[in-house]
A = this chain, B = another copy of it.
Amino acid sequence: MIFSVHVEVRLRPGIADPQGSTIERALPTLGFDGVKGVRVGKSIRFDIDAADESAARAEADDLCRRFLTNPVIEDAVIHVEAGAAAGATS
């Protein structure tokens, strides 16, 4: 059975985010006031073929911990849904 997985990888609170800080510093001169706390992370989507949802979640957890994130500085939020993601061809 195919499960669609969405992983949001974000920097842990307190870890410096130079990309986010640069966006935040630039925005007032571009006409956007009142935007604060910009944090840039990664969003990874894929399909997993697994027996059931808990197996899919376990495999996604393992994948995230070992290859998709750096657990020292990043947190991952994992969403698993039944069914292949539309348009997920690479």
Tally A residues with Cβ within 8 Å of B: 45
Residues in B whose Cβ lies below 8 Å from that of A16: 90
Interface string of A73-88 (1 = CB under 8 A from B): 0000000000011111
| Interchain CB contact (< 8 A) of A40 among B14, B42, B63 | B42
Interface string of A1-40 (1 = CB under 8 A from B): 0000000111001101100110110010010111111111
Give 15 A-B contacts (CB < 8 Å), ordered by A residue.
Answer: A8-B43, A10-B45, A20-B44, A20-B90, A23-B68, A32-B63, A34-B50, A34-B59, A35-B49, A37-B45, A37-B84, A37-B90, A41-B43, A41-B44, A42-B43
